[in-house]
Chains A and B, each alone.
Chain A
Amino acid sequence: MSATLDTVETILAAGEDNYKYGFVTDIDVDELPPGLNEDTVRFISATKAEPAWLLEWRLKAFRRWQGMTAPDWAKLKIAPIDYQASTYYSAPKAASGPKSLDEIDPELLKTYEKLGIPLGERAALAGIAVDAVFDSVSVATTFKDTLAAQGIIFCSFGDAVREHPELVQKYLGSVVPPGDNFFSALNSAVFSDGSFAYIPPGIRCPMELSTYFRINAAKSGQFERTLLIADKGAYVSYLEGCTAPQRDENQLHAAVVELVAQEDAEIKYSTVQNWYPGDAEGKGGIYNFVTKRGACRGANAKIAWTQVETGSAITWKYPSCILEGENSVGEFYSVAITNHMQQADTGTKMIHIGRNTRSTIISKGISAGRGQNTYRGAVKILPGAENARNYTQCDSLLIGKTCGAHAIPYIDSRNPSARVEHEATASKVSDEQMFYCQQRGLTQEDALSLIVNGFCKEVLKELPMEFAVEAQKLLAVSLEGSVG
């Protein structure tokens, strides 16, 4: 990132100066006052000039949500959340109407540049197509034309609703129904934007698609929606990154991601989640309640989730796979770090429906400070899933004596031919390991980073190269202050 950028952003000195994404962008916004009722939903839908069916869909979800209560089964201590205190729509002023890169507010471009996200010429150099979501709206989608030449649709969710309503209507909510859980219902009611991608049959997407989520406004929640469809024999690798300014109050993030892989299609979905984690005393930080699910609808389809979760005060997230098609494959690779007062309850659900379906779960939980880290996984084998296979490996690493690691695996097998294997380990970064590294010349920080990266290796190697490098650095930053 260029250090010469002339920015107007203020770095908030909120006590934690190692969160380098904690700045605020000073920009004019259209914003709803805090509060949530049917009018909020109508306003959002109207602002986006949505078709009637979508407004109805939202309202149905909203009414559903009103009758639901927040889940309490996760191993998380959460202060009661006042859903009326959040702002449900905040958008940079210039972002309304049709936009090209030239029309984007230069402040926004600077923000993304500062975050290391290439939106302009640098995108071309990096060879990654990016959809950037700033608070409630998508502000830029790069490479749209290049991709369109192959029939690939990659745009903001709002554009997709306008330009490809039949696709959206067909798939929206088909993997995560609005009433699936409290947070998916909330998202379905108030989601403001997000990313959409469709890869036509037989097409191998020639570049990584990427969404970059940024929460900027104070008190604003972010409720984005991602819908990704790989048609028969298509392939796509999708990257998702997230940051937010440092603020003293907690901010809500409740996203929904739906993936559909048809016959012989493959989707790789990688996330580096680095929302502001709060300060060392647990003040502020993002509440991250995310529902991510993929459906392998056809034979030989494959969906792989890879996540590196270093941020957020609270992470509640279970990227899952529904393995319907025979021989379909689901994979989940996860690194979750909790330092200071962070809490994570994360894992996956693999639902085996088709014959010969296979799933792999590799989870690496790292706890430091007073962090609490729970792996929660479910493997479900339905009666028709002849010869289904699951392999689960769940490792925890503890740094220091005041943190906690927990593993809660559920296995429910209803087909005797299925084979489910589960391995779990818990270890500590030993003094001997630290001394060995230091005796070879590495500083304490470098030693810890090396050991932790080694621990996460099986997951990190699943990430695309540029992302893996970023993730390694993040792991080191996240653990600052955890030894010595």
Chain B
Amino acid sequence: MTNLLEIHDLHARIVGGRDILKGINLTIKAGEVHAIMGPNGAGKSTLSSVLAGKPGYEVTLGHVLYQGHELASLGPDERARQGIFLAFQYPVEISGVNNMYFLRAALNAVRKQRGEAELDAAQFLKAVKAKLSLLDISEDLLKRAVNVGFSGGEKKRNEIFQMAMLEPALAILDETDSGLDIDALRAVANGVNRLRDPGRAIVMITHYQRLLDYIEPDFVHVLSDGKIVASGDKTLAMDLEERGYAHLASAA
């Protein structure tokens, strides 16, 4: 199978700052679930921002191939339309914009890119209903403004719901588990598990092992000080749970 994402010796920083990512190498194939773990400040969110093309970041060395093409040449919205989805660590509020309306605009942008017909309100509603039953999400969330007044758990569920609707090829979940109580965590994890698909790769960023109890990754990587210092299968995560990150960081 061809590689969906190839990260080669990636160095990146916030424009004008010091390198935060200091040589990342990672290859991801469709159908795989990768967990990226690491202490606070390791560069996990920076990696997801760089992959999603967030303005304000610059790649200083190395490069990334997505579906065989140079990612650097694509703007953030183009990356999104081509199937890269980022579930935000801190989902953003947009007041006055209905959540459904937002999602339909997003879905139609993505569908257009795929050469599919845009959905009208009725067709969209039907698609929403189908996905709602997949995830444990209250319809009420959809009627409110995007993320406005949502609890932490609601925001994270909403991110996963968007992912379900947009059906990305590559989903990056940045600390989707943080700030969730056990029930919310279970609901979010169930949602993600249902979205596992041979055509889709999922990258889960977390610094707790507990998410991996619910979503079993194929690969686990440890990110420390801007580098991947260890890679393995899920036993690596269990190992980390017992011994912490420190010995890995010093080994790097």
Q: What residues of chain A have their CB less than 8 Å away from a CB belonging to chain B?
A: 430-433, 435-444, 446-447, 450-451, 453-458
How extensive is the interface on chain B, given as a class? 20 to 34
B94 close to A450 (CB less than 8 A): yes
Which of chain B's residues have a CB closer than 8 A to the CB of A447?
Answer: 77
In residues 19-61 of chain B, which contact A (Cβ within 8 Å)?
A: 52, 54-56
How many CB-defined contacts (below 8 Å) exist between A and B?
79
B97 close to A442 (CB less than 8 A): no
Chain B residue with the shortest CB-CB distance to A455: B96
Which of chain B's residues have a CB closer than 8 A to the CB of A456?
Answer: 96
> How near does chain B come to A436, taking the closest CB pair, in angstroms?
4
CA distance A379 to B60 in the complex (A): 57
CA distance A262 to B170 in the complex (A): 63
Which of chain A's residues have a CB closer than 8 A to the CB of B152?
Answer: none
A438 close to B94 (CB less than 8 A): no
B105 close to A446 (CB less than 8 A): yes
B106 close to A454 (CB less than 8 A): no
Which of chain B's residues have a CB closer than 8 A to the CB of A457?
Answer: 96-97
B76 close to A438 (CB less than 8 A): yes
- Beyond A433-B92, A433-B94, A450-B102, whether A443 also contacts B77 by CB under 8 A is yes
> How near does chain B come to A423, taking the closest CB pair, in angstroms?
14
Q: Which among B80-88, B218-226, B241-249 touches the partner chain?
A: B80-88
The answer to whether B211 has its CB under 8 Å from any CB of chain A is: no
CA distance A443 to B110 in the complex (A): 11
- Beyond A442-B105, A450-B102, whether A437 also contacts B94 by CB under 8 A is yes
> How near does chain B come to A456, taking the closest CB pair, in angstroms?
7
Looking at chain A's contact residues, the main secondary structure is helix
- Beyond A442-B105, A446-B105, whether A454 also contacts B96 by CB under 8 A is yes
Give 5 CB contacts A-B under 8 Å. Answer: A436-B88, A439-B54, A441-B80, A443-B109, A444-B77
Additional pairs, 6, CB under 8 Å, beyond known A441-B107, A443-B109, A456-B96:
A437-B102, A440-B105, A446-B105, A451-B97, A453-B97, A454-B96
The answer to whether B162 has its CB under 8 Å from any CB of chain A is: yes
Per-residue CB proximity of B78-116 to A under 8 Å, as 1/0? 011100011010011111110000110111011001000
CA distance A457 to B98 in the complex (A): 10
Choose one: B56, B95, B162, B166; the contact of A454 (CB below 8 Å).
Answer: B95
A435 close to B113 (CB less than 8 A): no
Which of chain B's residues have a CB closer than 8 A to the CB of A454?
Answer: 94-97, 145-146
